[in-house]
Copies of this chain bind each other. A is one copy, B any other.
Amino acid sequence: MRIGMLTAGGDCPGLNAVIRAVVRTSRAEYDTPVLGFEDGWSGLVDDSAVSLYDDEDIDRLLLRGGTVLGTGRLNPDTLRDSLPQIKRTLERHAIDVLIAIGGDGTLTAANWLHDNGVPVVGVPKTIDNDVAATDYTFGFDTAVSVAADAIDRLHTTAESHERVMLVEVMGRHAGWIALHAGLAAGAHMIVIPEVPFDIDYVCKVMKRRFQMGENYGICVVAEGATPAEGSSMTIDEGEIDQFGHQVFTGVANAMAVEIKERLDRDVRTTVLGHTQRGGTPTSRDRVLATRYGVHAAHLANSGKHGVFVALRGEDIVPLPIADAISRLKTVPVEMYDEAASLFG
């Protein structure tokens, strides 16, 4: 038995913790060698591989952000066209099963490969927490924690200078980070992609704060938030990149212009950016990533394929990969309404 492993898609704290757990469990419990492919799917296509041993270097990965295997994105068409090369690489190294760690795009590719005769076990990865069928994904808690810490810091600056402060956080299609970081850091308003916002309502909430004697306001904005149709504000639509993803540009900045105009207050924007997806994972993400890795190793070593590992309550369970990619997990409107009790 030999296992192959790769990480694909965006960087995410906890990737290395999964790698470590897969290698340690496979070597210690099954004596199975693990081969890592570099830079995502392209390492599999081009056969760029490295042996992973259960040594001190692997052990230290637990706290390290990023992925020692490197990562990358591959156009789905390119992947399909490369099936022969992929199979050849797997045969050359006598790989029995591939563990693919990645987000929606990676799991979609993994599912297609599985349907085309490549045994795969999936590990879901997304900062955004928007993979269906699992309660949480690792990296999300770290992103929320980094964002909440930053918002905590902005409170005092906003207050000292009597400002409205807009904080743009990650979340193109789902507002999980905005919702959790906003709740954790006591934001006075949160806007998310799932609930198009009315800029007049946002201004009303801020104005009410000032009328109540408060002298500042914090609004957390998911990068994918959009104004409601028919509302008094529009933003430019972003372009579509080569992977079919919309490129978002500056909803928080656009909101700042409008709020400044309507409230005649000092308004500032902070875009948190890449710091949300790098660095040492929180303890929770290390536990979740480690548990995913241990379970993925057990599944791979016992011949269970076409599944991915999912968190359900406190249990890690194997589910068909198709379940992960069937739909995007977005914030339910009731959960947003629940948070809205605390706006203002």
Contact = CB atoms under 8 A, between A and B. Distances in A.
Interface of A: 10-11, 13, 15, 21, 24-25, 28-29, 56, 59, 62-67, 70-72, 135-136, 141, 144-146, 148-150, 152-162, 165, 180-181, 183-186, 214-215, 268, 270-271, 273-275, 277-280, 282-284, 286-287, 290-291, 294-295, 297, 312-314, 335, 338-339, 341-342, 344
6 contacts: A71-B161, A145-B283, A153-B274, A154-B279, A155-B278, A184-B284
Given A135-B314, A165-B274, 18 more contacts: A11-B157, A15-B160, A63-B152, A65-B156, A65-B157, A70-B162, A71-B160, A136-B314, A145-B284, A149-B279, A153-B278, A155-B278, A180-B287, A270-B275, A271-B273, A282-B284, A291-B338, A294-B338
A286 B148 CA distance: 10
Nearest to A270: B273
A344 B154 contact: no
Contacts of A295: 338
Contacts of A278: 152-158
User: By DSSP majority rule, is chain A's interface helix, strand, loop, or mixed?
Assistant: helix
B183 A141 contact: no
Contacts of A165: 274
Nearest to A314: B135
A284 B145 CA distance: 8
A195 to B, nearest CB: 17
Contacts of A344: 28
A266 to B, nearest CB: 11
Contacts of A29: 341
Contact of A286 (B25, B153, B183, B341): B183
Nearest to A145: B283
A305 to B, nearest CB: 20
Contacts of A158: 278
B274 A28 contact: no
Contact of A294 (B62, B286, B342): B342
Contacts of A71: 160-161
Contacts of A279: 149, 152-156
Nearest to A285: B184
A133 to B, nearest CB: 11
Contact of A287 (B28, B59, B184, B280): B184
A284 B66 contact: no
